[in-house]
Structure 1
Amino acid sequence: MKRLLLTISFVLSINALSAMPKLKVGDIILLDLDCYSCQVIEDETNSRFSHSGVVISDGRELYVAQSLSNVHHLKVNDFLRMTKKFIVKRPVVNIDRFKKYHWQVYKRNYYQLPFDYLYLWDDESLYCSEFIYKFMNALIDFKNFEVAPMDFSNNWNYWEDHFGTTPPQDMPGISPEDFNKSKDFKLIYDSVK
């Protein structure tokens, strides 16, 4: 019986992924993760999403680039194994330059940079959505998408403990939810609908 339930669960998850449109370079995948700090991020940004990645290609295969521990890329299925709750957003602005040069820019300027545990915009480390914004913004002319002051007030005590100091309140930043709200992207898939 247990084996049957596992098989049914596996088949249903494969069917859900097969309904997803084919991913393209430049697509953004926003994840709804369930770790404690992820829940705090979602609460702070009034969002379902706490992590993000961008679809890239080496010319042979699609990957998802992310900043988690450091900036790196992994196979799409490996990225999606983190959760069954995600959406895919596709740019509606011209991304021809991004498609043409993204791999070189990624490898030269971003690959293996450290994760930004302090969420500071102007240092050499990058948190997930900061990496994606800076990476894409270097090659895309966004129309309705820019950084905004960060707000840590909903969970101030958590953030003081996390940072070991005062949170970077009102400093420039960007969150996965900012990608979700931006008019420069359209929703092409939601795994929970």
Structure 2
Amino acid sequence: MILRTLACLLFSLSLQAQDLAEGDIIFQSNISPQCKAIELATHSKYSHCGLIFKDNDAWYVLEAVQPVRVTAFAEWIARDGDRYVVKRLKGADSLLTPAVIGEMKTQGKKYLGRNYDSYFGWSDERIYCSELVWKIYKSVLDLEVGVLKPLRCYDLSHPLVKKTMAERYGARIPMDEKMVSPGNIFDSPLLETVVSR
């Protein structure tokens, strides 16, 4: 407990240098067994993402894990050895007004407690990380931060990807299900990198 408190204090002292802003999108890799399969299928080193917000003076990440929840920023980045990238919407100073950020938080609260979608479907009943980020930006700003692609458009050739899909779907793989991966969002031309560690 003391170490976590110290880590949070050190983080808060260095926060200004990191230049975070509400509505930023944060990316990391390798936080669960399925991450390697996602990275192989999407040709991206990033397999998880979330949205950064602030509550009073405390930064947190809204993320779709099991279940959708808010996680203290210092705890979030510690999962991958403090390696992460933060991207920001281009023109955020004028687009992400306090009212827009408030609406993004309101939309995010609607998903809290929802189960993680390990099948990567597009309904709101369950939700996965990049789907959460994409849907909040789409619903509030009508912007698509990442290209939706059917499953068949990803690289499904690696044995680990095949094994993971067989475990998830059996023989009924939803090849035409549209999805958005963390890598799709990471590569969006609407975003620019503001922190890379």
Which bracket does the TM-score occupy, shorter chain normalised? Answer: 0.7 to 0.9
Structure 2 unaligned segments of length 5 or more: list them. Answer: 1-6
Q: 1:89 maps to what in 2? A: 87
Q: Is the 8 A contact 1:87 1:190 kept in 2?
A: yes
Q: Identity of paired residues, percent?
A: 22
**Alignment counterpart, residue 163 of structure 1, candidates 162, 166, 169:** 169
What secondary structure is seen at the aligned counterpart in 1 of 2:126?
Answer: coil
Q: 1:32 maps to what in 2? A: 29
Q: Which runs of 4+ in 1 moved over 6 A?
A: none
**Alignment counterpart, residue 175 of structure 1, candidates 162, 165, 181:** 181
1:137 aligns with 2:135: no
| TM-score, L = length of structure 2 | 0.79
What secondary structure is seen at the aligned counterpart in 1 of 2:18?
Answer: coil
Q: Residues 8-61 of structure 1, C-alpha deviation per residue, up to 9 Å, x if partnerless?
A: xx9xx97xx769522111111110216442111101000001111110233443
Structure 1 unaligned segments of length 5 or more: list them. Answer: 1-9
Moved more, 136-145 or 69-78: 136-145
The within-5 A match list for 1:69-88 is 69-84=66-81, 85-88=83-86
Moved more, 154-163 or 167-176: 154-163
What secondary structure is seen at the aligned counterpart in 2 of 1:160?
Answer: helix
- Alpha carbon RMSD of aligned pairs, Å? 2.5
The letter for the 2-side match of 1:119 is: F
Q: Residues 102-154 of structure 1, C-alpha deviation per residue, up to 9 Å, x if partnerless?
A: 222222x2111111111101241001111111122111232664422223622
Q: Is the 8 A contact 1:152 1:167 kept in 2?
A: no
| TM-score, L = length of structure 1 | 0.80
